[in-house]
Structure 1
């Protein structure tokens, strides 16, 4: 059974419920970092899946907001609420209810917009990229300093850690190239 198919534990108390909301925020933050680009976002299918899951999540937010509003109204009716500054609780919860009704409307609109965005890219797929050829206007010389330039031009982009780009010059030539640069600088 994979992590996606495991049943998630239900919240047993307010602390667990708070943890779920905190985890939601953390997951969104991590998703923001993951969708910046490669290596974690390279396929249109991934974008399609993300949009579908975001749409489903915002659909669920409507229910959460409704249930929070209902909870506070029940608590008011049972006379289990107070206010730190002695404001009229009915007035405060009325403003709260209006704000949540607006938020629920936005959540439903966001759900629909995300669903439309997902549907719009339903038929998009990746293609293999063409290998770019090096420009003929640059004269290629076999210098130690240019060790990885030709390879990078042919296969760009390559990771900076690619050993062919970071190949050090032979040890005997390292000191020679430093001396020759100094000598040419003095002559100039």
Structure 2
């Protein structure tokens, strides 16, 4: 009986989702510039190690969007890796919790030079609404050095792409500034 009511509601409501994003023609030139900068710096693909230091997972959803077919970050020569020993860039989301502070520092130390650190989201850049407390170190730069900050709650996939470009091209701090 309950299944019948659920199916009835599904048929009555129909498909509920967001419309796809509009095509951004300037994205292609930004993508080509990012790819050219990555090849100029590395001569190959750039590898990113992501660490969730205590986020709400909003930033992780945007990272998944960047990995999807619309943005196709792997097609630009940017890939995510499981080991910090294979990484060039450390992408950190969330305020750094006290429980993850040591793990984050060890991950940072395990990445070979040259390396860049990107703090993603308002929590990673400023500590967000959590700030510093007995349970939180606050922003990422309180635990490890940060090269680029990508603000937003959460930042858009384009902002993340700009942050990666800022990191590999040698720009510092917020790419939006």
- Larger strand percent: 2
* Greater Cα radius of gyration, structure 1 or 2: 1
Could you state the TM-score of these two structures normalised by the residue count of structure 1? Answer: 0.20
- Larger helix percent: 1
Could you state the TM-score of these two structures normalised by the residue count of structure 2? Answer: 0.21
